[in-house]
Amino acid sequence: MLVVIDTNVMWQAFKGKGSVSREILNHIVRRKLEIALSEAMFLEYEDVLKRPVSLSQFGLTVAQVDTVLDLLLAIGKWQKIYYRFRPNLKDEADNMLVELAVASGAKFIITSNIKDFTIRSDLNFDDLKIVTPVQFIHIWRQNYE
């Protein structure tokens, strides 16, 4: 199953041992899930996860974060974005998540900020669900465990 992971979920995965976000990342690392990546998405992960404040909160070094990012580089499904699909979301940066999901055919966008995708939004896709990490893990456990 192919998913798009919002940066806030990736940050939570690095921060919280035992969190559902970490569980999602572990499923990706174990190749039970496939993550869709674009250049813009990956650069955002890199920027946010390597910030000094993030590293301090994670208790990790840049090299340790790079190890995980390198793995994602190797196993992620890379998708070039040839067009700009602009659903005009509340947070302009969230548009790239929808672009990546539509271009890659991902089934889920996993985000902790669902409201950013639903308030004042006309997004309505039959094959794309926008869910929180907790909602996604619930769906995953019901269908795959």
* Cβ atoms of residues 80 and 40 within 8 Å: no
Lowest mean pLDDT among 64-68, 71-75, 79-83: 79-83
Task: Give the relative orientation of helices 39-49 and 7-15 as an angle to the nearest 10 degrees.
Answer: 40
Q: Which residues does 47 contact at the CB level (< 8 Å), separation at least 6?
A: none
Give the count of alpha carbons within 13 A of 31, CB side only: 4
* Cβ atoms of residues 116 and 76 within 8 Å: no
**Closest by CA position to 20, among listed 109, 129, 143, 110:** 110
pTM over 0.75: yes
Lowest mean pLDDT among 24-33, 55-64, 120-129, 134-143: 120-129
Q: Could you tell me the residue range of the domain that residue 18 belongs to?
A: 2-144
Write the CATH number for 77. Answer: 3.40.50.1010
Token pair listed for 117 = 């995708």
pLDDT at 16: 86
Write out pLDDT tens, residues 39-62.
Answer: 999 999 999 999 999 999 999 999
Number of domains composing the chain = 1
